[in-house]
Amino acid sequence: MAMERRTYKVDAMDGNTRLDRWCQRILGSAPNSVYQKALRSGRIRLDGKKAEGSARVFEGMQVEVRGDITSPDKAQAPREKQPMKLSLEMAQEAQSYVLYKDKDILVINKPAGLAVQGGSKVTKHLDGMLPALQFDGKQVPRLVHRLDKDTSGVMLLARHSAAAAELQRGFVNKTIRKTYLALVVNVPNPYTGEIESNLDKVARGEDSREMVRSVEEDGKRAITRYRTLEHLAKTMALVELEPITGRTHQLRVHMAEMKCPMVGDGKYGGGAAHVKGGVELSGKLHLQAWKIYLPPMFGKAEREFEAPLAPHIAQSLESLGLSLPE
C-alpha cells in the first residue's frame, strides 16, 4: 500500500521560522520528538530534500509529509517514562467535556487548568485522557491544535487519521476559524480594530515560563482582530478576539500592549490584571476559546461550535453586570 503524501506551501505569516516549530504549529501538537524522528527518517522533507529541525522555512517553500506522522503506533509514538494513568473518574470527566460527536470529529470544552499535553511535573493532561474519548471509534482521537493550560474552551479532536489530515489542512489554509472571548481591564480604543506586530520569545519570566513580546525587527508576524462587545464605563470590557495568526500567547500580549490586560493575566498584565477593590473577581485567566467555525467538510455543511462560558468567567460577568450580546 502506497504511503500517503501531503504537500504544504509555507505562507508569509508562517515563514521565517524553524522547520520543527512550523511542523508543531501546522501539522498538529505532537511532541517535538515525533517531528524530529520524522525529519531524520525523511518522512518530512523541505523542498523535496531531507532537512534538520533547525532549518528555517520561508514563504513559498514546500513541506512534504509522507504518511501519518502523528499516528500513535509503536514506530512513531514518543516513549513516555511515566504514562499517565487513566482512572475511571478521569475517564468520566473527559467524557463530560464532549459538546459534539460524529464519526469524524469530537468537539470538547476544555476546562481552565487542564494541560493539553504532558511535560515536566504534569500528571494530568488531555492527551492522556484521549483513550476515554474513543467511544465506538476504531482509533483513539488525535489532537490537531492546542490551547494553553490556563485557557478554557472549545477544541476539535480528529477521530481517525483521515480526519486529522483534513482538519490540519483547514488550519493551514485558515478555513477553520477560532474566536476567543476575554474580559479585560480598561476599554480598547478604538472599540474595534486590528493589531499587528512581530512577536519574539524573550528570557523566561519570574514564574519560569515562556514569555513573548513585540519587537521592531525579526520576530514572527502576528495579527489579531478584536471587537468590544460590552464595557463597564472605562474600567473593564468584554472583548471578542480573532487570531489571524497563531503565535504563542499572541492574544494576551496584544491586549496587554493595548493597555487592556486580561483579568488574571499577571504574566503580561502585571498588577493591573488583578482587579482590587469593589467587585471580587477570580484570579484565573479570563480568556476562553469561545467559538470554532468549520467550512463544509466531511460531507456536511458549514458549522460553528460554541463552548459555554467557563464558570469563573460567567461568575465575573454576573458580578460586573455584563452579559454576552444576544
Q: Note if 150 is an active site residue.
A: no
Q: Say how far apart CA 170 and CA 175 lie, in whole Å.
A: 5
Domain 5-66: homologous superfamily in CATH: RNA-binding S4 domain (3.10.290.10)
∠ at Cα 278 (275, 281), nearest 5°? 45
pLDDT of residue 276: 66
- Rounded CA gap, 236 and 230, in Å? 9
Report whether 129 contacts 120 (CB < 8 A). no
* Exposed / middle / buried, residue 70 (Cβ in 10 Å: 0-12, 13-18, 19+): buried
d(CA 90, CA 53) in angstroms, rounded, equals: 35
Domain locations along the chain: 5-66, 88-163, 178-320
User: In this structure, is the dihedral angle defined by the CA atoms of residues 125, 126, 128 and 133, taken in order, positive or negative?
Assistant: positive
Q: Which residue among the candidates 11, 102, 136, 148 is catalytic per the annotation?
A: 148
- Give the whole-angstrom CA distance, residue 313 versus residue 49: 48
Q: Which residue has the cell 493539553?
A: 116
Please tell me the predicted confidence (pLDDT) of residue 22: 84
The class (CATH top level) of 178-320 is alpha beta
pTM of the model: 0.76
Q: What is the pLDDT of residue 77?
A: 43
What does the DSSP 8-state code read for residue 80?
P
How many helices and strands (H and E) does the chain possess?
Answer: 8, 17
- What pLDDT was estimated at residue 191? 96
Fold of 88-163: Pseudouridine synthase (3.30.2350)
pLDDT at 125: 92
Give the mean pLDDT per block of 10 residues along the chain (326 residues).
Answer: 77 77 78 86 89 84 83 46 79 97 97 88 89 94 92 96 91 93 96 94 58 83 95 93 92 96 93 75 94 96 97 94 87
C-beta pairs of 224-229 under 8 Å, 24+ apart in sequence: 224/194, 224/195, 224/196, 224/250, 224/251, 224/254, 225/193, 225/194, 225/195, 226/188, 226/192, 226/193, 226/194, 226/195, 226/254, 226/255, 227/191, 227/192, 228/187, 228/188, 228/191, 228/192, 229/324, 229/325
What string of DSSP letters covers 176-195? SEEEEEEEEES--SSSEEEE
Q: What dihedral do alpha carbons 284, 286, 287, 291 form, nearest 10°?
A: 120
Do the domains at 5-66 and 88-163 have one common CATH topology? no
- Per-residue model confidence (pLDDT) at position 79: 46
| pLDDT of amino acid 229 | 97
Residue 146, all three cell numbers: 492546542
